[in-house]
Amino acid sequence: MIPAKQIIAQLDNPTEADRLLIEKAYEVAQKAHEGHKRYSGEPYMTHVASVAHHLAEMGMGPRTIAAGLLHDTIEDTEVTQEDVRKTFGDEILFLVEGVTKLSSVRYYGTDRHNESLRKLFVATSQDIRVLIIKLVDRLHNMETLSHVPEEKQQRIARETLEIYVPVAHRLGMGKIRKELEDLAFPYVLPSEYDKVQELIKSRAGKAEVTLEKERKGLQKKLADSDLLDFHTSSRVKGLYSLFHKLKRKDWNIDVIYDLLAIRVIVSNVDDCYKALGIVHDLWRPLPKRMKDYIAFPKPNGYQSIHTTVTTKSGNILEVQIRTQKMHHEAEYGIASHIIYKGKEHAKSSNSSWFANLAPSLFRPFAWREQRHTKTEITKEKPHYEKIPQWIGQIGDNYTKEKSTGQEFLDDMRKDFFHSRIFVFTPNGDVVDLPTGASPIDFAYAIHSEVGDHVSGARVNKKFVQLDTELKNGDIVEIETKKTAKPTTKWLDATKTTLAKRRIKASLSGENGKNI
Ligand code: MN
């Protein structure tokens, strides 16, 4: 089990308070989960300690790490909200509750609602840190999925691919996305997984040796140039993303040019272009394969220069050139935008992380300057970051990466969450309703028969009036009675046309009968 010390060791210059906070959270979690076991038979604490360690490694701050340690306490142990509030304060309670709430967003195997689910997932989280904790939580659950009962594995793996992966992608978190994809792949598409494995085996052994030889050749060439600070590494394409590419290329692995890639990481943007010149001088570039994502970042903020080359020994491979900062962002995405290692809320009070992020998507050079200006930590009040609307478009750009910057800007402006809310059925299905909708709208959205016979409603387990306005994330239960039927009052208490139409029909039907 990862000890608290090892988690703290990941922080840059932690203060005494940071250290104490993490130790306290560790202690509380350990006591709370005492005797609980994972499916693997390991103490439950191994899970939360590993989540916290991963968060620390990503550069998240002490409060997020503490919330990572406590993320399963309210849901699974005797620890109450009040306990967390008293010991750790409102902000950490907010994060822990956010993660707890997210566990009710579940995937039930129908593709129809995936887009809503992704949006709901983001809307429910309310704070980007909640999403990050949840993604890291899921990563550890996927790493230990083999111990989970078989009937659960499918659902969890599918949910990972349908919900978590697109969210990670949209947040630019490349590392966790790739890991989640490759962990879920064999469970969701076992025969496809085997097929890809086999194809890659037929190539990879030899290819990796070749790749290493080529990397050294490039390394030497770069060392002979006047580049001061650089390093090179290589990577093999993730199996799941390879699978998608193979499908598009008729399963011909020979036309997949980025199966193997060499990465060149330099210290600044000028050096990226210098390095590109050196690469093209050493190896012949393939025409029209050069992509400058530094000048034109991908919608999720990804930056790098990609070029495909034929080496002197005739190998085709991709070279990816980026700065250290770009590399860090490609791996950790939004986490690297909002948090400087060890510092939470590293931003001035009037500029949201979103404002910091937005220019980076379109004006990389302005952004570069901005990144060098570290702002002070604001510690006065817990400041909850609001989710910007563009994250609500999660999934939109996942399949069509080619959308232009302008389209993307327009997407960002769409005020999605102002017009829709997402609520749950008691077993976790998601219902998408307009803002201001009531339990009656909800009942009609479930089924017209349910709507026609609503007799009562509970929201989050409490009885409410039928005209109560529902809020994002509410869990709604409807009680029905055969004798219950729509009244004219219901018309004022509903927002959806579906409900209004049914109510009117029912009212006029009644009238008809009475005459
Ligand atoms: Mn967990």
Kindly report the length of the chain: 515
Q: Which residues contact 97 (CB under 8 A, 6 or more apart)?
A: 74, 81
What's the CA angle centered on 400, arms 234 and 307, to 5 degrees? 30
CA distance 248 to 401: 15
DSSP type of residue 515: -
3-state secondary structure of 63: helix
CA distance 359 to 70: 35
CATH number of 418-511: 3.10.20.30
The answer to whether residue 432 is catalytic is no
pLDDT tens digits along 367-425: 222 222 223 333 322 233 333 434 444 333 333 333 333 343 333 333 333 466 778 78
Where do the structural domains in the chain lie, given as residue ranges? 4-183, 193-329, 418-511
3-state secondary structure of 318: strand
pLDDT at 473: 72
> Catalytic pick from 42, 57, 76, 331?
76
Gap from CA of 72 to ligand 1 centroid (Å): 5
Which class is domain 193-329? alpha beta
> Catalytic pick from 23, 75, 83, 479?
75
CA distance 387 to 472: 14
Gap from CA of 48 to ligand 1 centroid (Å): 6
Gap from CA of 382 to ligand 1 centroid (Å): 24
Buried b (16+ CB within 10 A) or exposed e, 420-458: bbbbbeeeeebbbbeeebbbbbbbbbeebebbbbbeebb
Gap from CA of 199 to ligand 1 centroid (Å): 35
Taking Cα atoms as reference points, which of 337, 351, 399 lies closest to residue 172?
337
Gap from CA of 76 to ligand 1 centroid (Å): 10
pLDDT at 109: 57
Do strands 260-266 and 230-236 pair parallel, antiparallel, or not at all (unpaired)? antiparallel
Gap from CA of 47 to ligand 1 centroid (Å): 7
Q: Using 50 as the pLDDT threshold, list the residues of the chain that sit under it.
A: 339-418, 512-515
CA 357 to chain centre: 16
pLDDT at 195: 94
Gap from CA of 137 to ligand 1 centroid (Å): 5
The answer to whether residue 331 is catalytic is no
Which class is domain 4-183? mainly alpha
478 strand-pairing partners: 457
